[in-house]
Amino acid sequence: MKHLPFSEWIVSDEPLTEAQATELAHHLAGCPQCGRQQQAWAEVQLLLTRSTAAVAPAGFSARFVGRLAARRRVRHQRQIWVTFGAILAGSVALAIALLYAGAAGLAEGAGQLVKQLVVLRAALASVVDVIGHGVRVLPPGGVTLWRYSLLVALTGLGVATYLGLGGLWAAAVYRFASRQSRMGDTQ
Ligand SMILES: [Zn+2]
């Protein structure tokens, strides 16, 4: 028995003409082999349809959203820890600066600054004198100046940390506010 073109028609994507359909039905009536093929093909088609429908299993989107939320939570916690660490570092820097200098140290630092300004003025005023007499003007302070510089650096680090955190905080608040307003727009 000739099974062509019937076995091809069975699996064809192209819709059959009315004449072909009649011919195929006639052949299938007398050919168990093509009948089995048609049945198998119908089952495959059914499986394909079912698997397409089951691409997103039940609860999938809920799980996806949950996982997304969890990931966002982890990122948020990490941001909190980074912020906390930065605050701690800035505070430690400030505390060291204050402990190191102490109230007396601060006064000393301020006095040193005034002294430096006075010396600078004197140096500028007597620059002709210095050149004329070949006298070198030594920088003031020595060890005290070094200590003062360290104090300034540590204080600056602490203040910069707090300023930076303030900026980050302001940016976060701004971003949150703009996101809220954007969500309000789309609703
Ligand atoms: Zn056949």
pLDDT tens figures, 58-74 = 677 777 788 888 888 88
Asked if 42 and 94 sit in the same domain, the reply is no
Number of domains within the chain: 2
How many Å lie between the centroid of ligand 1 and the Cα of residue 23? 11
Asked if 31 and 99 sit in the same domain, the reply is no
Asked if 19 and 89 sit in the same domain, the reply is no
Asked if 101 and 142 sit in the same domain, the reply is yes
How many Å lie between the centroid of ligand 1 and the Cα of residue 42? 16
Asked if 80 and 138 sit in the same domain, the reply is yes
Helices vs strands, H then E, count in the chain: 6, 0
Instruction: Classify residue 162: in a domain, yes or no.
Output: yes
Instruction: Classify residue 85: in a domain, yes or no.
Output: yes
Q: For the residues 85-91, what does the mean pLDDT come to?
A: 84
How many Å lie between the centroid of ligand 1 and the Cα of residue 169? 77
Instruction: Kindly state the tokens that stand for 155.
Output: 């204080």
Asked if 21 and 109 sit in the same domain, the reply is no
The range of the structural domain enclosing residue 118 comes to 75-186
How many Å lie between the centroid of ligand 1 and the Cα of residue 30? 8
Asked if 10 and 92 sit in the same domain, the reply is no
Asked if 47 and 79 sit in the same domain, the reply is no
Instruction: Classify residue 69: in a domain, yes or no.
Output: no
Asked if 178 and 130 sit in the same domain, the reply is yes
Asked if 96 and 157 sit in the same domain, the reply is yes
Instruction: Return d(Cα 178, Cα 172) in angstroms, integer.
Output: 10
Residue pair 94/154 in contact (Cβ under 8 Å)? The answer is: yes
Instruction: Classify residue 68: in a domain, yes or no.
Output: no
Looking at 21-25, 31-35, 171-175, which range is the least confident one?
171-175
Residue 145 CB contacts under 8 Å (≥ 6 apart), including other chains: 112, 116, 139
How many Å lie between the centroid of ligand 1 and the Cα of residue 52? 30
* Burial (CB count <10 Å: 0-12, 13-18, 19+), residue 141: middle
How many Å lie between the centroid of ligand 1 and the Cα of residue 95? 93
Q: What angle do CA 28, 30, 33 make, to 5 degrees?
A: 65
pTM: 0.30
Q: 139 in helix, strand or coil?
A: coil
Instruction: Classify residue 174: in a domain, yes or no.
Output: yes
End-to-end CA distance of the chain: 67
How many Å lie between the centroid of ligand 1 and the Cα of residue 27? 6
For residue 54, the model assigns a pLDDT of: 62
How many Å lie between the centroid of ligand 1 and the Cα of residue 3? 4
Instruction: Classify residue 138: in a domain, yes or no.
Output: yes
Q: For the residues 46-52, what does the mean pLDDT come to?
A: 78
Instruction: Kindly state the tokens that stand for 3.
Output: 């099974």
Asked if 94 and 42 sit in the same domain, the reply is no
How many Å lie between the centroid of ligand 1 and the Cα of residue 16? 17
Residue pair 164/83 in contact (Cβ under 8 Å)? The answer is: no
Give the pLDDT confidence of 138-168 residue by residue, as tens digits: 444 455 666 667 777 877 887 888 788 788 8
How many Å lie between the centroid of ligand 1 and the Cα of residue 38? 10
Q: 23 in helix, strand or coil?
A: helix
